[in-house]
Structure 1
Amino acid sequence: MKIWFAEQDVIDAACVYVAETYQVPIERLNAELRYDEGIGIRGTVEDREHSRLFDLSERDLVDGAVLYLSNYHSFDPRRLTVELQFDENEGVTAVVEKVEVSG
């Protein structure tokens, strides 16, 4: 099974990651994504109430997508793979695949 995350889904997942990791209410968060050639996909999440910025790596964004699917849709995080992608028109997107375990 494959799930496609539009850029807004990746943004939401980044906010979930920061909320869970740093114990910040998700309602206070805004996120922006960017692609830097040579560095890759990055994110910045702002805590509007306390004017704090959280810089997220590509790994953090992948972990955020897994956390989002695990917490909100009961997916097993050990069975998910996430590939972030960047496109000029679509922005930052992700393809999430649920890996079936045989045996």
Structure 2
Amino acid sequence: MEVLFNEQDIVDSVCIYIALKERMEPEQVEVDLELHPSLGITASTLALGRTARLHEQDIIDAVAVYLQDYHQLVANHLQVNLSFSEKNRFTASIQVISNYF
């Protein structure tokens, strides 16, 4: 099974991820996704007056946590691929890997 995330889905995942870590509401987190020349896809966050930069693996972890907490998918069974294009901006393709095959 494949799940596709658009830019807003990724931003929502990062908001929830930071909110869980900081024990706050996701609505209190601001996120800007960026394409960094040497780091790949990154996210700048602002929460409780503090800024942080998340690297690509952090964003992948955020998507996995979101899918686990809100859709009961097993995080270890997800393969998340982030991408950027001028047309679609930031997207994620998530493969759900099952051991039942």
Q: Which structure 2 residues correspond to residues 86-97 of structure 1 after superposition, within 5 A?
A: 86-97=84-95
In the other structure, the counterpart of 1:33 is 33
Deviates more, 1:59-68 or 1:21-30: 21-30
In the other structure, the counterpart of 2:12 is 12
Task: Determine the C-alpha separation between the residues in 1 that align with 2:26 and 2:7.
Answer: 18
**2:69 equivalent to 1:71:** yes
TM-score, with length taken from structure 1: 0.91
Q: Secondary structure of 1:41's match?
A: strand
Deviations along 1:2-50, one digit per CA (max 9) or x if unpaired, are 0000000010111111111222321211111010122200001112xx3
Task: Determine the C-alpha separation between the residues in 2 that align with 1:100 and 1:25.
Answer: 32
What do you get for the CA RMSD once the two structures are aligned? 1.3
Shift of 1:84: 0.4
Give the number of aligned pairs: 101
Query: What amino acid maps onto 2:63 in structure 1?
Result: A
- Asked if the contact 2:3/2:94 (under 8 Å) is kept, the reply is yes
Give unpaired runs (5+ residues) of structure 1: none
Deviates more, 1:56-65 or 1:12-21: 12-21
In the other structure, the counterpart of 2:81 is 83
Q: Secondary structure of 1:100's match?
A: coil
Q: Secondary structure of 1:101's match?
A: coil
In the other structure, the counterpart of 2:97 is 99
